[in-house]
Amino acid sequence: MDPLRGYVRTVQVGLNLLLAAGLTVPIPAQDLPTGGLPGLPDQLPLLEVPEPKPRGQLAITVTGHQAFSTQRLHEAIVHQIAAIEESGLDEAGAHDAAFFLASFYRKQGYAEVDVSARITGAWSLLLSVQEGPRATIGRVNIVGNSAYNSLTLSRYIQEPTRKRFPKLKASTPLPFIQTDIQVGVDLVERAYAADGFLDAVITPAEIDLRDAGTVADITLKISEGPQYRFGAVRFSGTPLYSREVLLRAVAEEVTKPFTDGRLAAAQRKLEDFYKLRGHFSARVEVAGDKNHTSGRGRVPVSFQLVPGPVFHFDGLSLHGLEHVKPEFLRNRFRKLSGEVYSPEPIDKKFRELVQTGLFRNLRISPKVLPENRIRLAIDVEEARAKEFGIGLGFATFEGALASLSYSDRNLFQSGRPLTINTEYTSRGYKGDILYSDPWLFETDYKLQLHAYGLTRELPGYSKFEYGFQPSLARHITEHWEVSGFFLAKQVSLTEAKIAPRTLLGPSDYLANSIGLSQTFDRRNNIVNPTRGFLFTTTVDFASGMFGSDAEFVRGTCRFAYYVQVTKGSVLSLGVRGGAISTTGGINPPPIEERFFNGGATSVRSFAERKLGPRDRNGYPIGGNAFTVFNAEYTIPIQADLKGAFFVDAGNIQPRASDFGSSGMRYGVGVGLRYNLPIGPLRVDCGLNPSRAPGESLGAFHFSIGAAF
């Protein structure tokens, strides 16, 4: 064969293949014979690039449906419709639409549904539905079970469907959804595995459709096998600690049925046990196999312990600081320098730094150094320290609210915050400045300096007040804080309408007082608690020794308890009380120092301050002792929206010596809660079940924050 013709034929075949694949390959001109190649055109034709499919609007016609509206069926396949309108209508897209529409029906209990698709135009699709009967779950038969009763296992099987239809009553039969039943069987398998029945065999659920396909009976066959438990526990290697101490470290796991997950958890607990005691490089190897039991399903386990040396803290390396002084971070960890390494204080310091708001991102990584030392590498991304804020709101008693605030969380680059706030409500104005130093002189004491001024219109009088309050606090334990404070304030009352005038008490006075308070807080969330409790007490003493015109002793206490009844419901209980007694011969104490009751955070069947004694014009005058009892049960409605049922009781007594439960007034009611980052938005309607002459039937409250 002529070599040139063979070369040309090879090139032609290659080009044909490349063109068929939509590819082009440049051929250098110097590689071609002079005058081109025989049999090839001098210029190759341009490749045709297909035009992109135009977007359009799909017209869907659904026939044969009765259980659901056309709009509801369109909503069920909205994503498939969007995909078709994006890329064009073809057989694959039509098949997807039919498949997902059938899936929607099956999730509603139509097990025998059939949906077919037919393209009737460029942008027209016909979906034909044969719904078939809607099936509900009938009898659930469990065979071979002894560790769990049949009712419990039946609930496991139906739990996925129950979650899908949470509003159905317990007495209403659930729709039969095949995929949900499969998930429920998986839950049964996991329940057995978690309880140590590692050899349990659960066959796929048998489904028997009866009554013309409207009822699905379910049969589940179980072979449980033995239940495995932890047997003898052996520690080897270099334990360093007694067997009793090590057993306590893993007791939470090894006292339960044996599973591989619990065996791994026991291993982690032992490693954490050693790391908390400075053994940063501690390793624990574990051995335990259900195939080597010591009889009666007891699995012996062995822990090989390699604690390694004890490590000590060796300071910090800082990265990413711009405006916060490095000394601020060093001071937070200074007490750890030279101490035995433990992750617990690091976690505590990490939370402490995050709560300052100074950092957008914060990462602490321990780095191993020679001589068994640990250096903490801290990488930060600083947050904006200075912020302006504007707030608008409404509350039943205060009316319209508007606020303007400025905060600097890094005053003079010290890491200490300063906040300035001004507020307007329908009842007056308020401005305050707050400076906080959580680490006074780099100690564990917290200093706060608070200065304020306000004007306020209240039922029966108006007031102008300004004051200054320094306080010093310290955490005794993680959850218990004790503080002392001094308050100096000047109060002037004007436009007094209370009669007789003696009920008002002093109208222009200086009140200087010292006080002590303690707070024990075990709530899981201070803004919206769902479990835990809070206990606080405060005692303050105003005396002429401090230059005070008003002289009194006052004490208050509060206890609140929160318990999560179900996954979304919470029971809240609260008790509050207080008493004030004059010591300088002035009686009664100034009206601004007395207690009032009724309102959004006390007895909610009364408007603000409306529970208790009044003057002859009907204005509240407060009392020298009070009590409040609250009980509230919240239930989920949808997402962050919750409903509430509450019962309140409380009183106001004219004398401190009358403190107690006599003269109680009551309130019952309902409300709505919507969770916000700053606390729940609350709407409450309270009814007064035992109205006295002149009292309202109840009260309506709109506010933000927990009721108690």
Asked whether residue 662 is assigned to any structural domain, the reply reads yes
Antiparallel, parallel or unpaired: β 215-223 and 136-143: parallel
In a domain, 51, yes or no: no
284 sits in the region (left: phi over 0; alpha: psi -120 to 50; else beta) called beta
Token couple for 3: 């070599």
Q: Is the domain of 505 the same as that of 570?
A: yes
pLDDT, average across residues 618-623: 96
Lowest mean pLDDT among 3-17, 105-119, 143-157, 460-474: 3-17
Model confidence at 558, pLDDT cuts 50, 70, 90, reads: very high
Weakest mean pLDDT among 43-47, 174-178, 645-649, 660-664: 43-47
- Model confidence over 276-304: pLDDT tens digits? 999 999 999 999 988 888 768 999 999 99
For 597-610, write each residue's pLDDT tens digit: 999 999 999 999 99
In one-letter notation, the amino acid at residue 372 is: N
Kindly state whether residues 142 and 124 are assigned to the same domain.
no
> Does residue 458 sit within a domain?
yes
Q: Judge whether 401 lies within some domain.
A: no
Residues 359 and 468 reside in one and the same domain: no
- How confident is the model at residue 3, as a pLDDT? 43
Which domain covers residue 172, as residue numbers?
Answer: 136-223
Q: What is the pLDDT of residue 51?
A: 52
Mean pLDDT value across residues 150-177? 93
What CATH number is given to the structural domain containing 186?
3.10.20.310
pLDDT at 194: 95
pLDDT of residue 32: 41
Residue 309 has pLDDT above 80, yes or no: yes
Name residues whose C-beta falls within 8 Å of residue 482's C-beta, 6 or more positions apart in sequence. Answer: 473, 474, 476, 516, 517, 518
- Structure token pair of residue 658: 């009358």
Report the pLDDT averaged over residues 105-116. Answer: 94
Q: What domain count does the chain have?
A: 6
Q: Is 276 found in the same domain as 332?
A: no
Total length of the chain: 708
- The answer on pLDDT for 267 being more than 90 is yes
506: CB partners within 8 A, 6+ apart: 549, 550, 586, 590
Contact 135, 110 (CB under 8 A): yes
Q: Which residue has the higher pLDDT, 434 or 588?
A: 434
The CATH number assigned to the domain holding 502 equals 2.40.160.50
- 425 domain-assigned: no
| Owner of token pair 């207690």 | 595
In this structure, the answer to whether residues 180 and 88 fall within a common structural domain is no
| Domain-located, residue 399 | no
What is residue 694's predicted lDDT score, i.e. its pLDDT? 86
Q: Which residue has the tokens 């939470």?
A: 252
CA distance 226 to 147: 10
Same domain, 193 and 265: no
Residues 18 and 121 placed together within one structural domain of the fold: no
Question: Across residues 361-381, what is the average pLDDT?
Answer: 96
| Helix, coil or strand: residue 148 | coil
Last residue of a domain, one of 100, 115, 130: 130
Peptide bond into 326 cis (omega under 30): no
**Average pLDDT over every residue of 572-587:** 91
Domain stop point among 130, 151, 169: 130
The pTM score is: 0.74
Q: Are residue 105 and residue 244 in the same domain, yes or no?
A: no
Q: Are both 291 and 317 inside the same structural domain? A: no
**639: confidence class by pLDDT, cuts 50, 70, 90:** confident
pLDDT grade for 2, boundaries at 50, 70 and 90: very low
Are residues 196 and 169 part of one domain?
yes
List the structure tokens of 612: 């208790």
pLDDT score recorded for residue 563: 97
Could you report the per-residue pLDDT of 441-475, keeping only the tens digit for each? 999 999 999 999 999 999 999 999 999 999 999 99
Average pLDDT over residues 104-115: 93
Domain boundary among 287, 306, 325: 306
In a domain, 419, yes or no: no
pLDDT of 171 > 60? The answer is yes
Question: Is the predicted pLDDT of residue 6 greater than 50, yes or no?
Answer: no
pLDDT at 503: 94
Q: What is the mean pLDDT of residues 633-662?
A: 95
Percent of the chain past pLDDT 70, that is, above it, reads: 92
| pLDDT tens-place string over residues 316-351 | 999 999 999 999 999 999 999 999 999 999 999 999
Contact 707, 632 (CB under 8 A): yes
**Rounded Cα gap, residues 160 and 69, in angstroms:** 25
- Please, which pLDDT band fits residue 567 given cuts at 50, 70 and 90? confident
Together in a domain, 151 and 178:
yes
Please state the rounded mean pLDDT for residues 419-432.
Answer: 97
Mean pLDDT, the chain, rounded, equals 91
| pLDDT band, very low/low/confident/very high, at 53 (cuts 50, 70, 90) | low
pLDDT of residue 401 exceeding 80: yes
pLDDT of 382 > 50? The answer is yes
**Is there a single domain that holds both residue 161 and residue 209?**
yes
Calculate mean pLDDT across residues 600-622.
96
Average pLDDT rounded to a whole number, residues 497-513: 95
Does any domain span residue 668? Answer: yes
